[in-house]
Every structure is written in structure tokens, then in C-alpha cells.
């Protein structure tokens, strides 16, 4: 979702009078609802039938399909207008995962999205990501610190008024996430205020990290914010630590210095933190010599080999030192 925002901006720049509509799944609505350039958002349920009549009534001039999967092809089939489809790299990714053959283009997916718009006379200049937080979801982080005294967020002290970092614990698959014992090791000697963000499913991990790291600089808000509120906390942070997740892209949209921890997936798939104006902000940590990596273009619930070396051998000291340097504590 966040990765498609340069396309929206490019279309608006090329056709300033155009009405831009956006079709997405219901569960993604919160991420895109605040975008000021979108006139209307159409939401798809599991059947996909509900928005079809509304879409057909619009009589679109252009239809841009950035998914190019079975469902999106079904929508295109029933809609009028000139159609443009994103060129996926499924074969190239399959060869990289299954055979170790790397013929992936050395371009980010945002650049390939913009190439899809070429026939419309839209330049492929490297537009940044954007994220728009609705007013009702904006967070006063310092006020939040002052007011909150719940036991599961850790002790509060004067350091709360200093710049803080964020560790986004989430990751849709376990093989994208640093194991909890290594998160504890990483957080144990963090010297700056560090907020742990994640869903309700990350609460147990966050509580264990705070308890076992015994570090008063840690504060967990896992499960307490929606996606936009979490994004606003990231926006105000000085540094972001993240796995290969949506928070990595949200941090990029706000040009946050980012430490991205890569497990079974690889940046070469073209979905690393996209900061074309500030490439020095992106610090990727990955174990490159592993022959079994990448084992998937998405992820698994557990390491297929059992050793999980892609995360188990991450350079924790180097990650911590880089974090402190970016926080101005080197």
C-alpha cells in the first residue's frame, strides 16, 4: 500500500484535473484513507463482487493494475477504459529462491511501478513514498509518555523527554522476525528511550523483552495503537529498527534513519526501504553468505532448515552500535 503512493503522486502531477480512485482490500483501508489525492476508495471483500457496480458506473479512462493477479484481472475484464498492468517478476523470483539463479533487475519495485505508467507520458523519476496520518490518529508522544503509567510499558523517567527510537517488532512471518532472545540481547544495553511497537499479537513478546532486558529505557505500546497512530509514533522517532514489514516502508515514507533486519527475504526482491533522496538513511543487516537464503519470497512460520542462521547470526553488537550512532550517542 505505502509502496504505491509514488504512483498516485505521479498521476496527479501528470493529470492535475484527474479524479483518482483506489481499489483495495477492506483490511488495507486505514493505511490509505488519509491520502489527499484520492477522490474515492473502493473496498473489496473476499467475494470481490460488492464494488464492481460502483466501479463500472465510473466509466474510467485509465485502469492501472499494480497487482496483476487473478483478482485484479477479473476486475479489469469487466471494466472499460485503457488498461495498464504491472510486470511481475514471479519467474525471476522463483529462480532466485529455488535455483539460486539471480537475474532480478537491480531496481526497486517503486521504479517498476512507475515504469508501468510510461505509456501515459509519466516520467520514471524517483518519487519518494508518502504517508498521510488523519488528524484523529495523530499522537502527542511526549504527552502520552507523561500521562501513561501502565505497568506493561516499563518505568518512566526524565529520559522520556529526550529523542527516542522505535523497534517495530512485527513481521507477518516468523522467519522475518528476530528471535525474542536476540531482541532481548539487543535491547539490554540500549541507552536511549526505545518504544516497542506492534500488534496485539506482539504484546507477549514485548512484555518479555521489557522484563528480561531489565532496561528502564524500554516502553511498549504494542496492541494499543492502530496503524496510523503507530505511523505517527514512527514519524516522530529519531531512528527506526524494523524487520521486513510495513513499518519499514512507513519509516521510509517519513525519511527516518532505518535499521532493517533481514531474515529469509532479501532486499534484491526490490522491496527494501525506499528513500531515494536520503539513501544514507537505510542500513540493511543481512547474512549474505547463506546458500539457503532466500528460502521464500514471502516467509514461513519456522526455518525450513531448522537452524535459522539468517536471523540467529545477526550482528547484534553492530546493530546496537549503529543505533546509538544514529541517535547521536556514538
Number of domains in the chain: 2
What's the CATH code of the domain at 243?
3.40.50.2000
pTM: 0.91
Same domain, 95 and 212: no
Q: Which domain holds residue 67?
A: 2-120
Assigned domain for 195 exists? yes
Assigned domain for 50 exists? yes
Rounded Cα distance between 299 and 320, Å, is: 25
Same domain, 94 and 155: no
How confident is the model at residue 252, as a pLDDT?
A: 98
User: What are the average pLDDT values for consecutive 10-residue runs of the chain, which has 330 residues?
Assistant: 94 95 92 96 75 88 90 86 90 90 91 93 89 94 63 43 89 94 96 94 96 93 95 96 97 98 95 95 95 92 96 97 90
How confident is the model at residue 330, as a pLDDT?
A: 60
Same domain, 173 and 280: yes
Please write down the HEC assignment for all residues of the chain: CHHHHHHHHHHHHHCCCCCEEEEEEHHHHHHHCCCCCEEEEEEECCCCCCCHHHHHHHCCCEEEECCCCHHHHHHHHHCCCEEEECCCCHHHHHHHHHHCCCCCCCCCHHHHHHHHCHHHCCCCCCCCCCCCCCHHHCCCHHHHHHHCCCHHHCCCCHHHHCCCEEEECCCCCHHHCCCHHHHHHHHHCCCCCEEEECCHHHHHHHHHHHHHHCCCCEEECCCCCCHHHHHHHHHHCCEEEEECCHHHHHHHHCCCCEEEECCCCCHHHCCCCCCCCCHHHEEEECCCCCCCCCCCCCCCCCCCCCCCHHHHCCCHHHHHHHHHHHCCCC
Assigned domain for 126 exists? no
How confident is the model at residue 49, as a pLDDT?
A: 61
How confident is the model at residue 47, as a pLDDT?
A: 61
Among 200, 172, 231, 196, which residue's Cα sits nearest to residue 32?
A: 231
Estimate the crossing angle of helix 180-188 against helix 203-213, to 10 degrees.
40
How confident is the model at residue 150, as a pLDDT?
A: 47
Assigned domain for 132 exists? no
Amino acid at each position: 500500500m505505502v509502496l504505491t503512493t509514488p504512483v498516485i503522486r505521479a498521476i496527479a502531477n501528470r493529470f492535475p484535473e484527474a479524479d483518482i480512485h483506489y481499489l483495495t482490500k477492506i483490511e488495507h483501508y486505514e493505511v490509505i484513507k488519509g491520502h489527499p489525492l484520492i477522490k474515492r476508495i473502493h473496498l473489496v471483500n473476499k467475494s470481490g463482487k460488492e464494488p464492481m457496480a460502483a466501479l463500472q458506473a465510473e466509466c474510467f479512462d485509465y485502469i492501472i493494475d499494480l497487482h496483476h493477479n487473478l483478482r485484479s484481472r477479473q476486475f479489469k475484464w469487466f471494466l472499460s477504459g485503457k488498461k495498464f498492468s504491472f510486470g511481475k517478476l514471479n519467474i525471476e523470483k522463483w529462480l532466485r529462491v529455488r535455483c539460486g539463479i539471480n537475474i532480478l533487475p537491480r531496481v526497486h519495485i517503486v521504479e517498476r511501478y512507475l515504469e508501468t505508467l510510461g505509456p501515459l507520458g509519466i516520467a520514471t523519476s524517483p518519487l519518494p513514498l508518502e504517508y498521510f496520518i488523519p488528524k484523529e490518529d495523530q499522537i502527542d508522544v511526549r504527552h502520552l509518555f507523561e500521562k501513561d503509567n501502565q505497568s506493561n510499558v516499563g518505568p518512566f523517567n526524565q529520559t522520556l523527554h529526550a529523542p527516542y527510537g522505535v523497534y517495530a517488532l512485527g513481521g507477518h512471518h516468523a522467519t522475518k522476525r528476530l528471535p525474542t532472545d536476540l531482541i532481548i540481547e539487543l535491547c539490554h544495553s540500549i541507552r536511549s528511550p526505545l518504544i516497542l511497537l506492534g500488534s496485539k499479537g506482539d504484546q507477549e513478546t514485548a512484555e518479555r523483552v521489557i522484563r528480561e532486558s531489565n532496561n528502564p529505557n524500554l516502553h511498549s505500546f504494542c496492541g494499543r495503537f492502530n496503524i496510523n497512530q503507530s505511523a505517527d509514533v514512527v514519524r516522530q522517532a529519531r531512528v527506526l529498527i524494523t524487520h521486513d514489514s510495513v513499518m519499514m516502508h512507513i519509516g521510509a515514507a517519513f525519511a527516518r534513519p532505518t535499521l532493517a533486519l533481514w531474515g529469509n527475504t532479501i532486499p534484491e526482491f526490490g522491496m527494501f526501504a525506499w528513500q531515494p533522496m536520503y539513501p544514507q538513511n537505510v542500513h540493511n543487516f543481512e547474512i549474505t553468505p547463506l546458500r539457503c537464503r532466500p528460502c521464500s519470497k514471502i516467509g514461513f512460520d519456522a526455518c525450513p532448515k531448522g537452524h535459522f542462521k539468517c536471523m540467529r547470526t545477526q550482528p547484534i553488537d553492530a546493530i546496537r552500535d549503529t543505533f546509538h550512532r544514529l541517535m547521536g550517542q556514538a
